[in-house]
Structure 1
Amino acid sequence: MKAIYQEKYGVLGLEDVAEPEPGRGEVRVRVRAASVNARDWHVMRGDPYLGRLMLPAVMGPRGPRRRIRGTDFAGTVESVGAEVDRFRPGDEVYGDLGDAHGAFAEYVCAPADEIEFKPAGLSWEEAASMPLAGGTALMGLRDVGRVRAGRSVLINGASGGVGTFAVQIGRALGGSVTAVCNPRNVELVRSLGADDVVDYTRGDFTRLGRRFDVVFDLVGNRSLSDLRRAVAPGGVLVLSGGGTSRGRAQVFGPMRLIIGAQIAAKLSRSGPQIVVLATRPSRDLLTGLRELAESGRLTPAVDRTYQLAEVPEAIRYLELEHARAKVVITV
C-alpha cells in the first residue's frame, strides 16, 4: 500500500509499505480521507525539542517512533480481527489513532472500541476532519467547561481546526460564544454561530472589561496571567496546544505555557480553575460528535483538500498558519 513514511525529523516521503493486518479487537479500514492536525507537524519536526524528552513514546532522539504520520481518518471497514462483533466489512467508520499514528496511508488498523460509525450525511473529508479537533472541542466545552445555557464562553483561536468546532459546540450546548480571530476570518466564525467576534488586531480580549465563565485557549500566545484575567469568578481556563514553529525549531514552544499552567493548577489556592486538556481516542467523543452532526448542530468547515502524495505540502500549509478551519487529505 502507499503511505506517507518518515525515518528522520523533517523528511516525509510517499512509500510502498506492507498492508497492516488486524489483531485481536481490531478492524482494518480502507482509508478514504484523513485530516492534518498541529500534532502532525509537531511530530514530523520533533518540535519543540522538549517534546522529545517529555513524550518518549512518540518522539525519539532523531525521528518519530511511528514511521507513518497521521491520526484522523474516515473509511470503510475491510476486515475485522478476533473478538470484534460491533463492526463488519462494508461499515463506514471514522476515528483517531492517537499515538499509534498511521492515517496517511491507504489502510489502517484501529482498535474497534476506539472508532465509531461515520456520521450520516457527511462526506469522507468532513468526517475525517472531526475526530481530534472536534473531540478536543467537545471535551473542553462539554466535559471540562460544563457549558450550558446562560454560560459565557470565549474561544481564542476560533477560526482554526479546533476553534471552528468549538464555536458550534459552544452554541449547541446553549452557551453565549465570543470568538477571537484575525480579521479575514471574522465572517467565517460569525457564520458558525459566534455571538460576538473580537478581531485581535484591533482589540485585546484580556482587556475588554468582560469576564467569561469559560476561556478556551487554542493559541498559546498569551501569558497565563493575561488568560486568568479574562476568567470570571468560579470560571475555568481550558488550555489545549497552540503555537507554531513557522518553520523554525523551538526548544519549549507552547509547552512553556502548558507546564506553567500545570504548576499553577497544583499550587494556586485562588483564582479560576485551570485545566490542560489531554485528549485521547475515545468512542464517547466520537459518538457525541456524530450525534451533533446528524442533528444538524455541527458542520465541519474544510479549508483545503490535498491528495495523499501532497501531505508534505498540506502540513506546510497548516504549519505556516495560512490555514483556517480544517485541512484534509483525500486518499
Structure 2
Amino acid sequence: MKALMYHNYGSSDVLTLKEIPVPTPRENEVLIKIRATSINSSDWELLRGKPLFARIWGLLKPKYHILGSDIAGQVVSIGKDVSKFRPGDAVFADIFDQWGGFAEYVCVHEDQLLPKPEHMTFEEVSAIPQAGVVALQALRYNGEITPGQQVLINGAGGGAGTFAIQIAKSLGTEVTGVDSARKLDLMKSIGADHVIDYAKEDFTKNKQQYDLIFDVVGRRSIFDFKRIVKPKGAYVMAGGSMRRLLQILFYGPLISKTTSKKMGLLMHKQNKEDINHMLSLYDARKVVPVIDRSYPLSQGITAFQYFGEGLVLGKIIITPES
C-alpha cells in the first residue's frame, strides 16, 4: 500500500510517499480501506515537532511515521474477536492515540470505530472528529453558553474555528470571528455576526468584552485577553507556541483564583459522545463541515505545504486514489 511517511521532524519537505506492506488486523482490530482523512493542527505540530510537547511520542525522532487521526473508510477484514463490524461496513474514527490515517489502509481497534451515517460523505465525516470535538469542548469550557452571550473566536476561519462559529450560533450567541482578510467572507457565510481582520485591527484594544473567548491561535499574551473577558467570563486556548502554553499554564490558574474570570488551556478529550453530538448538529443542519480542498494521497506533500501556509478555509481532506 501507499503511505505518506516521515522519519524526522520538519516541514512538508520531510514527507515521502512510500510503498509499504498492508497491515494485518489483530484479534480485536479491523482493517480499513481509507476513503478520506482530514488534516488537523495536531498533524502539523507532530510533523514539525513544535511546540515541544508535540514530541511526547519521540523527543529526537517521531515514534509514529504515518500521521492522520481523523479517518473514514470501509472495513476490509476483521480480527477473530471482532463482533461489532463486518467487511463492507462504512466507518469513521479519531485514532489520535495511534495515527496512521495518511495511507491506503489502517488497522483500528473496533472500540474506536463509529458507523458512518449513510447520508454523509466520507470526506464530510472525516472532517468532524477532532476539530469538531475541540470546538465543542472549548465552547463548554465555562459551562454551557446561553443565548445572547458574546463569543469571540480567534482563528475562526480554520477547522476548529469554523465548527465553533456554527455551534455558537446554533446556541443563540453573538459571534465575532477573528482571522486573516482571506477568511472574512467565509466566516460571515457560516454565521459570524462580526468579523475582524487581525492585520488591520487589534481586537484586544477595541474595548469590547466577551463572555467566552476561544483562542485557536495562541500567539497573544494572556494579559491581552484578560482585559476583554467579562467578569464571570472565560478564555480558553486550544493551541499555540510553547511560550504561550507555559504562560497560560502558570498565570491561568492564578488569574482564575484571584478574579471572577476563568482562563486556561483546553485539554482535548477524545470521546464518541461528543462526536455523536456533532453528528446530531449536522443532522439538524446546524453544523456543516467546511472543506476547502481535497487532495489525492499522491499530492499529500502539497496538501501539507498548503496547510502550513495558514491559508486553509476550514478543512483539507486527503483521499487515496484506489
TM-score normalised per structure 2: 0.91
Question: Offset of 1:82 from its aligned partner?
Answer: 4.8
Q: Secondary structure at the match of 1:98?
A: coil
Against the structure 1 CA distance between its residues 274 and 85, is the aligned structure 2 distance closer, same or farther, given a 3 Å change threshold?
Answer: farther
Contact 2:35 2:74 in 1 (8 A): yes
Question: Which of 238, 245, 254 is the aligned partner of 1:258?
Answer: 245
1:276 counterpart = 2:279: no
Aligned to 1:330: 319
The match for 2:101 among 85, 100, 103 is 103
The letter for the 2-side match of 1:231 is V
Whole-angstrom CA distance in 2 between matches of 1:59 and 1:145 = 35
Structure 1 residue corresponding to 2:224, chosen from 223, 226, 234:
226
Deviation at 1:143, TM superposition (A): 5.3
Residues 162-200 of structure 1: CA deviation (Å, up to 9, x unaligned): 111110111123322111122222111111111222222
8 Å CA contact 1:35–1:329 kept in 2: the answer is: yes
- Name the count of aligned residue pairs: 315
Query: Alpha carbons of 1:183 and 1:82: their partners in 2 closer, same or farther (altered >3 Å)?
Result: same
Query: SS of the counterpart of 2:258?
Result: coil
Q: 1:159 to 1:32 in 2, by over 3 A?
A: same
Aligned residue type for 2:225: L
What's the CA shift for 1:133? Answer: 0.9
Matched, 1:304 2:304: no
CA 171–115 in structure 1, closer or farther in 2 if over 3 Å, else same: farther
**Distance change in 2, residues 1:47/1:81 (3 Å):** same
* Deviation at residue 83 of structure 1 after TM alignment: 4.6
Name the structure 1 match of 2:59.
Answer: 60
Q: Find the residue that maps to 2:124 and give its secondary structure.
A: helix
Q: Describe the SS at the equivalent of 1:221.
A: coil
Whether 1:216 aligns to 2:214 is yes
- Letter matched to residue 321 of structure 1: G
Q: What TM-score, normalized to structure 1?
A: 0.89
The superposition leaves residues 201-238 of structure 1 with CA deviations (integer Å, 9 ceiling, x where unpaired) of: 33222122221111000111211101111211111111
Change (3 A) 1:262 1:119: farther
Give 1:245's aligned residue.
Answer: none
1:265 CA drift (Å): 2.8
- Partners of 1:235 and 1:119 lie apart in 2 by 36
Shift of 1:144: 4.8
**Structure-to-structure mapping, 1:69-218, within 5 angstroms:** 69-142=67-140, 144-218=142-216
Q: Which residue of 2 aligns with 1:51?
A: 53
Match of 1:250 in 2: none
- Structural RMSD (CA): 1.9
- In the alignment, the residues of structure 2 paired with residue 182 and residue 307 of structure 1 have an alpha-carbon distance, to the nearest angstrom, of 27
Cα distance per residue 1:8-37 (max 9 Å; x no partner): 223211112222233344332211011112
